[in-house]
Structure 1
Amino acid sequence: MTVPTFPADFLWGVATAGHQNEGDNVDSDTWFLENVTPSVFQDRSGKAANGWELWESDLDLVAGMGLNAYRFSVEWARIEPVEGEFSEDALAHYEAVVDGCRARGLAPIVTFNHFTSPHWFAGRGAWLDPEAPALFARYAGVVMDRFGDRIALAITFNEPDLPEMLTWARLPEFVVELERKTLEAATREAGVEKYRAANVMLREDFAGMRAGMTAGHRAAKAAIKARRDDLPVGLSIAMVDDVAIPGGEATRDRKRAEVYEHWLELARDDDFVGVQNYERYYYGPDGAVPAPDGATGLVGLYGGVEPDSLRGAVEYTYEVTGRPVLVSEHGMSTEDDSRRAGFIEPSLVGLKQAMDAGVPVLGYCHWTLIDNFEWIFGYGPKLGLHSVDRETFERTPKPSAGVYAELVREARGE
């Protein structure tokens, strides 16, 4: 294995998310949607990976890999389970996680909203509610007041562009219809006019939800900066590396305009922008096409079969925004860990090529530390560097964990 030397202050980490890891997030919109009938979620999250209880040993895993950063989310639904009432226990828990990171030499990268929101917020229509940005900013302020002085980077939203991106991902139409039926069932069961959530979104709501999250980002950033002006704030964008073969430029550019450009333009006013890349798509004159000869192409969502896609996504992001980039997620869904292990090195080589070409990159966070709950796909996809026993929750390192750790040592010149 050979990787070039990266800057000494480069952040090497893993990324996780509260609902996907912690378990028993019972006051959240996603928990509610998992448990209505019908539901688009293949599994219920339940205990997930029991990360709420096992957070200390999980931090030990991160530190044991020789990393220096940990990206995780604070769960709004835990912190404000009832509108206007903030949980001392939840705030104390997340404060302990932040302090646990620092004690292990890990920079805490905190995501304030990783898809999930409180059940009461969804009952108000989520980001369609005119008061949503102010409610989100209030919550962000409470978090900052408690431990904002000790975090390294703040991410307001995780992948707010994902609903639009998935319209290009060729999901079966029955999934779209099941999403609608899920929200209809939730609306009935909650007894509200319109139950809405960021990770189960109807196409007719795209514009309104986008506007709400845009205002929410600005409001939360203002609340964060009011308490700590020096804290870098950004958002993370789901980013396929879209490549045009001759004649496909118009299709590629239309996708970029529909999916990314709004958020990239918003990010121009931020301190950095998070890039979350898993795939590369190719486009010809008539739309998406198979990979050309010599390229490995796309194999399913989160397929991660084109290592150089990370470089392409990062370079495009910087070209549009002019802002420093954090690779806030990057990985592969596969049962064959040897593929994951072999995928990391060439991806990092491509990332360094982008940096050598002038793109400022703050760090790289691999998704994810442990196999977890992958939203509507349930427990099927495997993206972790560690496996998790579904009964005992024991974590077992996969070979890719050791490979990543060794690559980081090499990248530091150790």
Structure 2
Amino acid sequence: MALPDDFRWGATASSVSTDGVAPTADWSTWERDGLAPRSGAGGGFTSDYADDLKLAAQIGLTDIRVTVEWARVEPRPGVVDSGVVDHYREVLGAAREARLAPWITLHHTSLPGWFAEDERGFRDASSRTRFWSRHVDRTAEQFDDLAAGWAPIEDPIGWALRGFLLGTRPPGGHDPERAREAVEGVVEATFDAWRLLSSGRQPVMTVLGLPSVVPVDAEARDEARLWESVLWDTWLRALGDGEFALPWKAAVDRPDLQGVVDLVGIAADHPVGIDRHGAFHPHPVDGRADGSGFCPVPEELGVVLRRVHEALPDHDLVVAATGVGTTDDDWRDELLTATVDQVELAITDGVPVTGLFHDSLVDGYEWTRGFDAPRGLVTRDRRLKESGRNLSQRITGHPPDASLS
């Protein structure tokens, strides 16, 4: 079947991927300490954004999701860099000129070092209320006339787990207690952003990491249920029942969360296997791993979409981020084709999926993998890959212009 005419076709990426790290961000410390490759200028979007956005439109994309990097806007507490704000306004204006609808993300992995380190970040309720809420309000005011929509935080719980339990992101922790604090804090920050932004005229979209959770054996079932509760029930209970609950936290009524978002966006990456110790493993065990070490399975997206729709039948859904880190573009093309197939099948079954954002448009910096696991439809020298050509033809119904190759 053909997707609806008003289906959103978009692209997204972190600011660090597209532009390189901000000098005062927590990720900058990691790079300086040798814990990650240097990001440099990332994918070069800072200088090439106008041409990149035109290219996105030529491919057939209708939407673009841009991260307004907090560490660039507010490099020191209370100090706003007006030049950075002007630059982001130019980027969003260029998106509008290219007839792309610009969605704004306020936090995608990296944070200002002063907030994350000096003020304890989202783990500290007073810092979260004082600094994060100020960032949300300020961003809404600065870009209200240009934003088509808001997608406040990319995979909030995933951010907390990678930084405080798995140790693969700043601050590199392996402390279950601090991880619980981080999960609770970033979920509260997400709720705050939803609430603040929902008072505006633009739609608010979630970007939730909702992987299928699979016990690796019978002894792992209890741990898998625990992680299922953290990764899934936290959001479904909030949006569906107006409750905030975590396995270690009694449920609190939050009726303000019902109806607060317009679109339930899902970051579709991969299923996860859980062992009896609660550790994460690739699943399926015989699957092919991408640059993250996990195994993308397009069919799992169909399962996730149907499950979310069953739990939240009154919400429209969006695949808010999907992509694979690999140098094998044939594999990317295969996975992306199958992913779009799953979206079409879900729509046929009555699931209201209204858009898909590919991560990413142009190859950029990919965290601990640096530039070795590219995710783009376009190379860093701005050559359209075969995966990009095939997606373009699927969107538009005809091959892309030969000049794009």
Give the TM-score of the pair, scaled to structure 1: 0.80
Q: Distance in 2 between matches of 1:319 and 1:51?
A: 39
Partner of 2:18: 21
Cα distance, 1:290 vs structure 2? 6.2
Are 1:203 and 2:195 an aligned pair? no
Query: Is the alpha carbon distance of 1:150 and 1:24 closer, same or farther for their aligned partners in structure 2, counting shifts above 3 Å?
Result: same
Are 1:317 and 2:308 an aligned pair? yes
Q: Distance in 2 between matches of 1:71 and 1:114?
A: 11
Q: Distance in 1 between matches of 2:50 and 2:294?
A: 30
1:299 to 289, 304, 328: 289
SS of the residue 2:205 aligns to: strand
2:267 to 260, 276, 282: 276
Are 1:385 and 2:357 an aligned pair? no
Q: Distance in 2 between matches of 1:375 and 1:305?
A: 18
SS of the residue 2:106 aligns to: strand
Aligned-residue CA RMSD (Å): 3.0
Cα distance, 1:110 vs structure 2? 1.1
Partner of 1:193: none
Partner of 1:366: 358
Partner of 2:382: 395
Cα distance, 1:252 vs structure 2? 4.7
Q: Distance in 1 between matches of 2:309 and 2:215?
A: 19
Partner of 1:121: 115
Give the residue type in structure 1 aligned to 2:122. W
1:236 to 187, 204, 207: 207
Query: Is the alpha carbon distance of 1:11 and 1:200 closer, same or farther for their aligned partners in structure 2, counting shifts above 3 Å?
Result: farther
Cα distance, 1:201 vs structure 2? 7.0
Q: Distance in 2 between matches of 1:48 and 1:337?
A: 20
Partner of 2:137: 141
Unaligned runs of 5+ in 2: 241-257, 399-405
1:147-171 C-alpha deviation (Å, 9 max, x unpaired): 223322211110112157669xxxx
Cα distance, 1:65 vs structure 2? 0.4
SS of the residue 2:358 aligns to: strand
SS of the residue 2:125 aligns to: coil
SS of the residue 2:153 aligns to: strand
1:53 to 33, 47, 60: 47
Query: Is the alpha carbon distance of 1:251 and 1:222 closer, same or farther for their aligned partners in structure 2, counting shifts above 3 Å?
Result: closer
SS of the residue 1:397 aligns to: coil
1:217-237 C-alpha deviation (Å, 9 max, x unpaired): 2322333234x1x32213211
Contact 2:207 2:267 survives alignment (8 Å) = yes
Cα distance, 1:267 vs structure 2? 3.9
Query: Is the alpha carbon distance of 1:289 and 1:135 closer, same or farther for their aligned partners in structure 2, counting shifts above 3 Å?
Result: closer
Q: Distance in 1 between matches of 2:320 and 2:142?
A: 24
Q: In terms of mean alpha carbon deviation, does 69-78 or 48-57 score higher?
A: 48-57
Unaligned runs of 5+ in 1: 168-172, 184-198, 389-393
Q: In terms of mean alpha carbon deviation, does 255-264 or 283-292 score higher?
A: 283-292
Higher RCO (Cα < 8 Å, 6 or more apart): 1
1:302-333 C-alpha deviation (Å, 9 max, x unpaired): 65542212212222223333432211111122
SS of the residue 2:145 aligns to: helix
Partner of 1:196: none
1:155 to 151, 155, 165: 151
Cα distance, 1:341 vs structure 2? 1.2
Q: In terms of mean alpha carbon deviation, does 326-335 or 315-324 score higher?
A: 315-324
Partner of 2:198: 225
Contact 2:272 2:294 survives alignment (8 Å) = no
Cα distance, 1:246 vs structure 2? 10
Cα distance, 1:251 vs structure 2? 5.9
Give the residue type in structure 1 aligned to 2:154. N
Partner of 1:326: 318
Cα distance, 1:64 vs structure 2? 1.6
Q: Distance in 2 between matches of 1:115 and 1:336?
A: 25
Contact 2:89 2:146 survives alignment (8 Å) = no
Give the TM-score of the pair, scaled to structure 2: 0.82
1:327-384 C-alpha deviation (Å, 9 max, x unpaired): 1111122211111112222211111211222222221001111221111222221211
1:15-54 C-alpha deviation (Å, 9 max, x unpaired): 1221211125112111122213xx532x022222222121
SS of the residue 1:149 aligns to: coil
- The percentage of counterpart residues that share the same residue type is 23
Cα distance, 1:73 vs structure 2? 0.6
Partner of 1:260: 232
Q: Distance in 2 between matches of 1:201 and 1:21?
A: 29
Give the residue type in structure 2 aligned to 1:344. L
Query: Is the alpha carbon distance of 1:370 and 1:136 closer, same or farther for their aligned partners in structure 2, counting shifts above 3 Å?
Result: same
Give the residue type in structure 1 aligned to 2:205. G
